[in-house]
A and B are shown apart, each in its own frame.
Chain A
């Protein structure tokens, strides 16, 4: 029983992997573009899941860290001529540290108070992106961002090379998160989610581990932002508004919070639904609402929960 489940999962994983590998050779460039977006959103929702799905605190500012990484990387390369390959880790580290600075005071608040604080912080960061015109170009956007410099003779100006670059980072990030949630650290943050006072009583430094989960989650969003900036080559504040944060929350809930694989699938599903809705963008909110209500009514643990029910027969 268990081994058949495992092998079914393995087969699904292998098929997905092969599909992801061949897509640029079999699909139109539009489809490739949409899959790149789906991978970027998978990275955002997987990194968000570390904080909200595993450690517990509900956050509404993940897109702010995404934007911070994107602008940091773009500006480093534009203003100082730094290479993308250096700007990417620096952006990730900076957002990680920034996350620690924000997370330390914010995570002293619990429950709704923390959630509301992150919501306002997210909006504040959007206003910063919008109003520091000398740096970000404000509402006009920030253009002229260069693609990653070629390495190993690979030229990154085209779609296909960028696709593989982002895919590799996506796989690395998910692998890293997988190792993390299954580590001792992963156990400790789950204990905080389950019962913070009990966790503290059995010796978990809850304040420290919450801030660490928050910072890692932010730093990974920052790396994703850097990848996005040099792929899309044009940044606009609205990409990093609260709506994007909310979309990440929806992706994670639809997929199943605290499962890592669920949010990745959720990101894929939601990205494709939204792309199909392009003809009527104002209907996006309706779609989100319907998706969320449907999933919460059918199975609060999301698609991952539905899958577990089908496989486990309960």
Chain B
């Protein structure tokens, strides 16, 4: 089976800081991949390179067999990669419904949004549990609801790959469980491949089939949740982190 996403020797330097160093990754369609690593390891930088927000210093990115490095973010989004942001972003002064509708309209522009697009938006709002906030202005929501709006808007663009940057951070235990259930649905029922960056270890371990560990811009381990928890390098890094 052809890989959905292939990163080859991906490197990013910010002046003296190497935020990513020779990262190689092959991701199969339908998977749930977790990316973990200490603060400043380069996880967000990896997402930013894949979605075109920043240009890699060197290396290549292929999505569905096509090179996408060098494309603009809006072009990459149209190819089928959606994302959410670590620091939550929504369209502040419009309703939740209009937020999600923009995702659908950006995906396919009609002079008037079609009945089908409105229907799609309704479904996503239902799925993400935003029904009660439908007509609320997005800026008035809690962080956790805003995160769901960000996710819903990304879903409305009909992505095949979804990159989620610390979606669980700041959520209560109950909210984390709900989010996990939602992500399983998105992956299982909608067939969307997921890559999640998380610090909430329990969430990654429960959700992901495969985990990549990054430290100082380098991939230091890859494997199933079980393999990762027993990996000495990984344990060292996290204990090192924790004992600082």
B113:A201 contact, CB within 8 angstroms: no
The answer, yes or no, to whether A269 is at the interface (CB within 8 Å) is no
- Give A203 to B103 CA distance when docked, in angstroms: 8
Q: Which residues of A contact B (CB under 8 A)?
A: 182-185, 187-188, 190-191, 194-195, 197-206
- Tell me, rounded to whole Å, the shortest Cβ–Cβ distance linking A79 to chain B: 38
Which of B86-94, B172-180, B183-191 sits within the interface? B86-94
Sorting the interface of chain B by its residue count into under 10, 10 to 19, 20 to 34 or 35 or more gives 20 to 34
Q: Which residues of B contact A (CB under 8 A)?
A: 51, 53, 72-74, 77-78, 82-83, 85, 89-94, 98, 101-103, 105-107, 109-113, 150, 153-154, 156-157
Can you give 13 contacting A-B residue pairs, CB < 8 Å? A183-B112, A184-B110, A187-B105, A191-B106, A194-B92, A195-B89, A197-B89, A199-B102, A199-B106, A200-B72, A201-B73, A201-B83, A203-B106
Query: B72, B83, B90, B94: which contacts A190 (Cβ < 8 A)?
Result: B94
A198:B89 contact, CB within 8 angstroms: yes
- Tell me, rounded to whole Å, the shortest Cβ–Cβ distance linking A2 to chain B: 12
Q: B82's closest neighbor in chain A, by CB?
A: A202
- Give A187 to B98 CA distance when docked, in angstroms: 8
Which of A182, A198, A203 is most buried by chain B, counting CB atoms within 10 A of its CB? A203
- Give A204 to B77 CA distance when docked, in angstroms: 9
B109:A184 contact, CB within 8 angstroms: yes
Contacts of A205 in B (CB 8 A): 72, 74
Contacts of A190 in B (CB 8 A): 91, 94, 98, 102
- Tell me, rounded to whole Å, the shortest Cβ–Cβ distance linking B163 to chain A: 10
Contacts of A182 in B (CB 8 A): 112
Interface residues of A, dominant DSSP: helix
Contacts of B51 in A (CB 8 A): 201
B157:A191 contact, CB within 8 angstroms: no
Closest 3 CB pairs of A and B: A203-B77, A194-B91, A203-B106
From known contacts A183-B111, A184-B113, A187-B113, infer whether A204 and B106 are also in contact, taking CB-CB under 8 Å. Answer: yes
- Give A188 to B82 CA distance when docked, in angstroms: 17
B106:A202 contact, CB within 8 angstroms: yes
A201:B53 contact, CB within 8 angstroms: yes
B74:A206 contact, CB within 8 angstroms: yes
Contacts of A191 in B (CB 8 A): 91, 102, 106
From known contacts A200-B74, A201-B77, A202-B106, infer whether A184 and B112 are also in contact, taking CB-CB under 8 Å. Answer: yes
Contacts of A194 in B (CB 8 A): 91-94
- Tell me, rounded to whole Å, the shortest Cβ–Cβ distance linking B66 to chain A: 16
- Give A57 to B74 CA distance when docked, in angstroms: 19
Which of B78, B93, B109, B150 is most buried by chain A, counting CB atoms within 10 A of its CB? B109
- Give A185 to B112 CA distance when docked, in angstroms: 8
Contacts of A202 in B (CB 8 A): 77, 82, 102-103, 106, 153-154, 156-157
Contacts of B83 in A (CB 8 A): 201
- Tell me, rounded to whole Å, the shortest Cβ–Cβ distance linking B91 to chain A: 4
B102:A188 contact, CB within 8 angstroms: yes
Q: A190's closest neighbor in chain B, by CB?
A: B94
- Give A48 to B107 CA distance when docked, in angstroms: 27
Q: A188-B105, A198-B153, A202-B156 are in contact. List 14 more A-B contacts (CB 8 A).
A: A183-B112, A184-B105, A184-B111, A184-B113, A187-B98, A187-B101, A187-B105, A194-B93, A195-B91, A199-B91, A201-B74, A202-B102, A202-B157, A203-B74
From known contacts A200-B72, A200-B74, infer whether A188 and B109 are also in contact, taking CB-CB under 8 Å. Answer: yes
- Give A190 to B90 CA distance when docked, in angstroms: 12
Contacts of A187 in B (CB 8 A): 98, 101-102, 105, 113
- Give A68 to B223 CA distance when docked, in angstroms: 65
- Give A34 to B94 CA distance when docked, in angstroms: 37
Contacts of A188 in B (CB 8 A): 102, 105-106, 109
- Give A179 to B105 CA distance when docked, in angstroms: 16
- Give A183 to B109 CA distance when docked, in angstroms: 9
- Tell me, rounded to whole Å, the shortest Cβ–Cβ distance linking B93 to chain A: 6
From known contacts A184-B113, A187-B113, A188-B109, infer whether A203 and B91 are also in contact, taking CB-CB under 8 Å. Answer: no
Contacts of B156 in A (CB 8 A): 202
- Give A185 to B156 CA distance when docked, in angstroms: 17
B109:A185 contact, CB within 8 angstroms: yes
- Give A200 to B153 CA distance when docked, in angstroms: 12
B157:A198 contact, CB within 8 angstroms: no
- Give A102 to B156 CA distance when docked, in angstroms: 34
- Give A194 to B153 CA distance when docked, in angstroms: 14
A200:B73 contact, CB within 8 angstroms: yes
A204:B74 contact, CB within 8 angstroms: yes
- Give A194 to B90 CA distance when docked, in angstroms: 8
- Tell me, rounded to whole Å, the shortest Cβ–Cβ distance linking B104 to chain A: 9
- Give A191 to B101 CA distance when docked, in angstroms: 10
- Give A197 to B77 CA distance when docked, in angstroms: 12
B107:A203 contact, CB within 8 angstroms: yes
Q: B107's closest neighbor in chain A, by CB?
A: A203
Query: B78, B85, B112: which contacts A203 (Cβ < 8 A)?
Result: B78
Contacts of A184 in B (CB 8 A): 105, 109-113
